[in-house]
Amino acid sequence: MNIVVCIKQVPSTTEVKINSETNTLVREGVESIINPFDTYAIEEGVRLKERFGGKVTILTMGPPQADIALKECIEVGADEGILVSDRAFAGSDTLATSYVLSKAIEKIGDYDLVISGKQTMDGDTGQVGPGIAQRLGIPFVAYVSRVDDISDGKMKAERMIDEGHEVVEAPVPCVMSVSKEINVPRLPSLRGKMKAKSAQLTVWSAQDLGIEDNKVGLAGSPTFVMQIFSPKRERQSEMLEGSSAEQVSALCDKLSEMKVV
Protein backbone atom coordinates (compact mmCIF):
# COMPACT_ATOMS: atom_id res chain seq x y z
CA MET A 1 0.00 0.00 0.00
CA ASN A 2 1.44 3.38 -0.96
CA ILE A 3 0.80 6.05 1.61
CA VAL A 4 1.48 9.76 1.18
CA VAL A 5 1.63 11.84 4.37
CA CYS A 6 1.43 15.63 4.00
CA ILE A 7 3.23 17.61 6.67
CA LYS A 8 4.18 21.19 7.37
CA GLN A 9 7.07 22.77 9.18
CA VAL A 10 5.84 25.39 11.67
CA PRO A 11 7.44 27.68 14.24
CA SER A 12 7.72 26.15 17.70
CA THR A 13 4.63 27.16 19.73
CA THR A 14 6.23 28.53 22.79
CA GLU A 15 7.78 31.34 20.77
CA VAL A 16 5.11 32.61 18.38
CA LYS A 17 5.39 36.31 17.57
CA ILE A 18 3.37 38.30 15.09
CA ASN A 19 4.70 41.19 13.05
CA SER A 20 2.01 43.79 13.63
CA GLU A 21 2.84 45.71 10.43
CA THR A 22 2.69 42.83 7.97
CA ASN A 23 0.23 40.67 9.94
CA THR A 24 2.41 37.62 9.41
CA LEU A 25 4.27 35.29 11.72
CA VAL A 26 7.80 36.26 12.63
CA ARG A 27 9.85 33.23 11.58
CA GLU A 28 13.38 34.60 11.89
CA GLY A 29 15.33 33.07 14.72
CA VAL A 30 12.42 30.85 15.74
CA GLU A 31 13.03 27.13 15.90
CA SER A 32 11.04 25.14 13.36
CA ILE A 33 9.31 21.89 14.22
CA ILE A 34 6.99 19.49 12.47
CA ASN A 35 3.42 20.65 13.00
CA PRO A 36 2.52 18.60 16.13
CA PHE A 37 -0.81 17.43 14.64
CA ASP A 38 1.12 16.00 11.68
CA THR A 39 3.20 13.73 13.92
CA TYR A 40 0.08 11.59 14.40
CA ALA A 41 -0.35 11.40 10.63
CA ILE A 42 3.26 10.27 10.17
CA GLU A 43 2.92 7.64 12.91
CA GLU A 44 -0.34 6.33 11.45
CA GLY A 45 1.25 6.10 8.00
CA VAL A 46 4.14 4.07 9.42
CA ARG A 47 1.79 1.84 11.44
CA LEU A 48 -0.40 1.15 8.40
CA LYS A 49 2.72 0.30 6.41
CA GLU A 50 3.77 -2.10 9.17
CA ARG A 51 0.29 -3.67 9.10
CA PHE A 52 -0.37 -3.83 5.38
CA GLY A 53 3.06 -3.45 3.79
CA GLY A 54 4.00 -0.79 1.25
CA LYS A 55 5.75 2.52 1.49
CA VAL A 56 5.35 5.85 3.26
CA THR A 57 6.24 8.98 1.31
CA ILE A 58 6.29 12.28 3.15
CA LEU A 59 5.31 15.36 1.19
CA THR A 60 5.82 18.94 2.28
CA MET A 61 5.65 22.34 0.64
CA GLY A 62 8.02 24.85 2.13
CA PRO A 63 11.37 26.61 2.01
CA PRO A 64 14.57 24.61 1.33
CA GLN A 65 15.17 24.27 5.10
CA ALA A 66 12.05 22.12 5.38
CA ASP A 67 14.28 19.21 4.36
CA ILE A 68 15.10 18.89 8.08
CA ALA A 69 11.46 18.07 8.79
CA LEU A 70 11.52 15.38 6.08
CA LYS A 71 14.61 13.79 7.59
CA GLU A 72 12.95 13.76 10.99
CA CYS A 73 10.08 11.79 9.42
CA ILE A 74 12.53 9.22 8.08
CA GLU A 75 13.99 8.90 11.59
CA VAL A 76 10.60 7.69 12.80
CA GLY A 77 9.96 5.21 10.00
CA ALA A 78 9.01 7.00 6.77
CA ASP A 79 10.66 5.73 3.58
CA GLU A 80 11.00 8.79 1.38
CA GLY A 81 10.68 12.55 1.49
CA ILE A 82 9.60 14.98 -1.21
CA LEU A 83 10.02 18.72 -0.80
CA VAL A 84 7.98 20.95 -3.06
CA SER A 85 9.75 24.27 -3.06
CA ASP A 86 9.68 27.28 -5.34
CA ARG A 87 9.79 31.03 -4.90
CA ALA A 88 6.56 31.16 -6.86
CA PHE A 89 4.78 29.42 -3.97
CA ALA A 90 5.52 32.18 -1.43
CA GLY A 91 2.36 33.65 0.04
CA SER A 92 0.16 30.71 -0.98
CA ASP A 93 -3.03 30.31 1.05
CA THR A 94 -4.79 27.01 1.76
CA LEU A 95 -6.44 26.94 -1.67
CA ALA A 96 -3.14 27.39 -3.51
CA THR A 97 -1.32 25.03 -1.14
CA SER A 98 -3.82 22.24 -1.67
CA TYR A 99 -3.51 22.77 -5.41
CA VAL A 100 0.29 22.43 -5.27
CA LEU A 101 0.16 19.38 -3.02
CA SER A 102 -2.47 17.69 -5.17
CA LYS A 103 -0.27 18.22 -8.24
CA ALA A 104 2.65 16.64 -6.36
CA ILE A 105 0.50 13.67 -5.30
CA GLU A 106 -0.59 13.19 -8.92
CA LYS A 107 3.06 13.17 -9.91
CA ILE A 108 3.85 10.58 -7.22
CA GLY A 109 0.99 8.56 -8.71
CA ASP A 110 -0.13 5.08 -7.65
CA TYR A 111 -1.15 6.11 -4.13
CA ASP A 112 -3.70 4.34 -1.95
CA LEU A 113 -4.02 6.70 0.94
CA VAL A 114 -3.17 10.33 1.69
CA ILE A 115 -2.93 11.28 5.37
CA SER A 116 -2.71 14.72 6.95
CA GLY A 117 -2.89 16.14 10.45
CA LYS A 118 -6.24 17.63 11.41
CA GLN A 119 -4.95 21.20 11.17
CA THR A 120 -1.75 23.19 11.51
CA MET A 121 -0.71 24.98 14.61
CA ASP A 122 0.12 28.23 12.83
CA GLY A 123 -2.69 28.56 10.26
CA ASP A 124 -5.23 26.54 12.24
CA THR A 125 -7.64 26.17 9.29
CA GLY A 126 -7.81 22.43 8.65
CA GLN A 127 -8.59 23.23 5.00
CA VAL A 128 -5.65 21.72 3.15
CA GLY A 129 -6.65 18.06 3.62
CA PRO A 130 -10.16 18.48 2.18
CA GLY A 131 -8.73 20.80 -0.50
CA ILE A 132 -6.40 18.05 -1.70
CA ALA A 133 -9.22 15.49 -1.77
CA GLN A 134 -11.38 17.88 -3.81
CA ARG A 135 -8.61 18.48 -6.35
CA LEU A 136 -7.85 14.78 -6.63
CA GLY A 137 -11.53 13.96 -6.88
CA ILE A 138 -11.45 11.39 -4.08
CA PRO A 139 -13.28 11.18 -0.73
CA PHE A 140 -12.11 12.91 2.43
CA VAL A 141 -12.53 11.44 5.92
CA ALA A 142 -11.88 13.91 8.74
CA TYR A 143 -10.67 13.37 12.33
CA VAL A 144 -9.99 9.65 12.05
CA SER A 145 -9.30 8.14 15.48
CA ARG A 146 -8.86 4.52 14.41
CA VAL A 147 -8.32 2.61 11.18
CA ASP A 148 -10.02 -0.76 11.52
CA ASP A 149 -9.18 -2.26 8.17
CA ILE A 150 -8.15 -1.53 4.63
CA SER A 151 -9.08 -4.29 2.19
CA ASP A 152 -10.98 -4.93 -1.04
CA GLY A 153 -10.57 -1.32 -2.05
CA LYS A 154 -12.24 -0.02 1.10
CA MET A 155 -11.13 1.57 4.34
CA LYS A 156 -13.14 1.06 7.51
CA ALA A 157 -12.40 3.63 10.18
CA GLU A 158 -13.72 5.40 13.20
CA ARG A 159 -13.76 9.16 13.35
CA MET A 160 -14.33 11.69 16.09
CA ILE A 161 -17.41 13.88 15.92
CA ASP A 162 -18.77 16.27 18.53
CA GLU A 163 -21.31 13.73 19.79
CA GLY A 164 -18.85 10.81 19.96
CA HIS A 165 -17.56 8.41 17.34
CA GLU A 166 -18.74 7.61 13.87
CA VAL A 167 -17.90 4.41 12.01
CA VAL A 168 -17.30 5.09 8.35
CA GLU A 169 -16.35 3.22 5.22
CA ALA A 170 -14.66 4.93 2.30
CA PRO A 171 -13.31 3.68 -1.00
CA VAL A 172 -9.54 3.90 -1.40
CA PRO A 173 -7.75 5.91 -2.55
CA CYS A 174 -8.99 8.56 -0.19
CA VAL A 175 -7.62 11.37 1.94
CA MET A 176 -7.93 11.26 5.72
CA SER A 177 -7.01 13.62 8.49
CA VAL A 178 -6.23 12.09 11.85
CA SER A 179 -7.05 13.26 15.35
CA LYS A 180 -4.51 12.97 18.12
CA GLU A 181 -6.41 10.15 19.81
CA ILE A 182 -5.32 7.83 16.99
CA ASN A 183 -1.86 6.92 18.33
CA VAL A 184 1.18 7.90 20.36
CA PRO A 185 3.91 8.91 17.89
CA ARG A 186 7.11 6.92 18.38
CA LEU A 187 10.51 8.44 19.11
CA PRO A 188 13.40 8.18 16.61
CA SER A 189 15.15 4.82 16.24
CA LEU A 190 18.78 4.06 15.52
CA ARG A 191 18.00 2.50 12.14
CA GLY A 192 15.79 5.46 11.33
CA LYS A 193 18.51 7.95 12.19
CA MET A 194 21.04 6.12 10.06
CA LYS A 195 18.63 5.98 7.15
CA ALA A 196 17.80 9.68 7.50
CA LYS A 197 21.45 10.62 7.49
CA SER A 198 22.07 9.14 4.07
CA ALA A 199 18.59 9.72 2.64
CA GLN A 200 18.35 11.46 -0.74
CA LEU A 201 15.35 13.76 -0.72
CA THR A 202 13.47 14.68 -3.86
CA VAL A 203 12.89 18.36 -4.57
CA TRP A 204 10.24 19.48 -7.05
CA SER A 205 9.76 23.02 -8.39
CA ALA A 206 6.64 24.62 -9.87
CA GLN A 207 7.93 23.71 -13.30
CA ASP A 208 8.47 20.06 -12.35
CA LEU A 209 4.81 19.90 -11.38
CA GLY A 210 3.52 21.80 -14.42
CA ILE A 211 1.92 24.35 -12.19
CA GLU A 212 0.05 27.34 -13.57
CA ASP A 213 1.50 30.59 -12.20
CA ASN A 214 -1.81 32.29 -11.53
CA LYS A 215 -2.93 29.47 -9.26
CA VAL A 216 -0.16 29.78 -6.69
CA GLY A 217 1.55 32.40 -4.54
CA LEU A 218 -0.25 35.63 -3.79
CA ALA A 219 -1.88 35.67 -7.24
CA GLY A 220 -3.49 32.29 -6.66
CA SER A 221 -4.55 33.01 -3.11
CA PRO A 222 -7.95 34.67 -2.67
CA THR A 223 -7.58 34.66 1.13
CA PHE A 224 -6.94 38.16 2.43
CA VAL A 225 -5.79 38.58 6.02
CA MET A 226 -7.15 41.88 7.28
CA GLN A 227 -5.63 41.87 10.73
CA ILE A 228 -3.86 39.53 13.10
CA PHE A 229 -3.55 40.52 16.72
CA SER A 230 -2.94 38.99 20.11
CA PRO A 231 -6.20 39.09 22.05
CA LYS A 232 -6.07 41.13 25.23
CA ARG A 233 -6.78 39.30 28.43
CA GLU A 234 -9.69 41.15 29.96
CA ARG A 235 -10.93 38.63 32.47
CA GLN A 236 -11.35 39.98 35.98
CA SER A 237 -11.56 37.91 39.07
CA GLU A 238 -12.60 38.48 42.61
CA MET A 239 -11.79 36.16 45.50
CA LEU A 240 -14.59 35.50 47.97
CA GLU A 241 -13.56 35.16 51.58
CA GLY A 242 -15.02 33.85 54.82
CA SER A 243 -16.42 30.44 55.82
CA SER A 244 -17.73 28.05 53.16
CA ALA A 245 -21.30 29.03 53.98
CA GLU A 246 -20.48 32.75 53.69
CA GLN A 247 -18.67 32.18 50.40
CA VAL A 248 -21.62 30.22 49.00
CA SER A 249 -24.14 32.87 49.93
CA ALA A 250 -21.89 35.65 48.59
CA LEU A 251 -21.53 33.69 45.34
CA CYS A 252 -25.31 33.22 45.06
CA ASP A 253 -25.84 36.95 45.56
CA LYS A 254 -23.30 37.77 42.85
CA LEU A 255 -24.81 35.34 40.38
CA SER A 256 -28.33 36.65 40.85
CA GLU A 257 -27.01 40.21 40.66
CA MET A 258 -25.50 39.28 37.29
CA LYS A 259 -28.84 37.70 36.37
CA VAL A 260 -27.28 34.37 35.47
CA VAL A 261 -29.36 32.41 38.00
Partner 1 sequence: MEYFLDEQQKMIKEIARNITEERIKPVRAELDEKEEFPREIIKEIAQADLFRVFIPEEYEGFGAKCLDACLAIEELSRGCCGVSICYAAVMLGTLPIILFGSDEMKQKYLPQIASGERLVAFGLTESGAGSDAGAMKTLAKLDGDSYIINGTKQFISNGGDAEIYSIIALTNPAKGVRGASAFVVEKDTPGFTFGKKEKKMGIRCSSTCELVYHNCKVPKENLIGKEGAGFIATLKTLDGSRPGVAAQGVGLGQGALEEAVAYARQRVQFGQAVSSFQAVQHMLADMATQVEAARLLLYACARTIDAGATNYTEDGAMAKLFATDMAMKVTTDAVQVFGGVGYTRDYPVEKMMRDAKILQIYEGTNQILRNDIISHVYKRKAMRP
Encoded one letter per residue, x for contact with partner 1 by CB under 8 A and - for no contact, window 185-214 reads -xxxxxxxxx--x-----------------
Nearer to partner 1 by Cβ, of 171 and 188: the residue is: 188
Instruction: Tell me if 48 sits within 8 A of 3, measured CB to CB.
Output: yes
Encoded one letter per residue, x for contact with partner 1 by CB under 8 A and - for no contact, window 121-160 reads ----------------------------------------
Count of residues near partner 1 by CB under 8 A: 10
Encoded one letter per residue, x for contact with partner 1 by CB under 8 A and - for no contact, window 160-189 reads --------------------------xxxx
Asked if 51 interacts with partner 1 (CB under 8 A), we say no
Apex 253 CA angle, 241 and 246, nearest 5:
35
Residue 238 CB: number of other CB atoms within 10 A? Answer: 7
Residues 6+ positions from 95 with CB-CB distance below 8 Å: 127, 131, 220, 221, 222, 223
Minimum distance of partner 1 from residue 186's CB (angstroms)? 5
Nearer to partner 1 by Cβ, of 40 and 140: the residue is: 40
Nearest 5°: phi and psi at 68?
Answer: -60, -40
Question: Exposed, middle or buried by CB within 10 Å (0-12, 13-18, 19+), for 186?
Answer: middle
Which positions touch partner 1 (CB under 8 A)?
186-194, 197
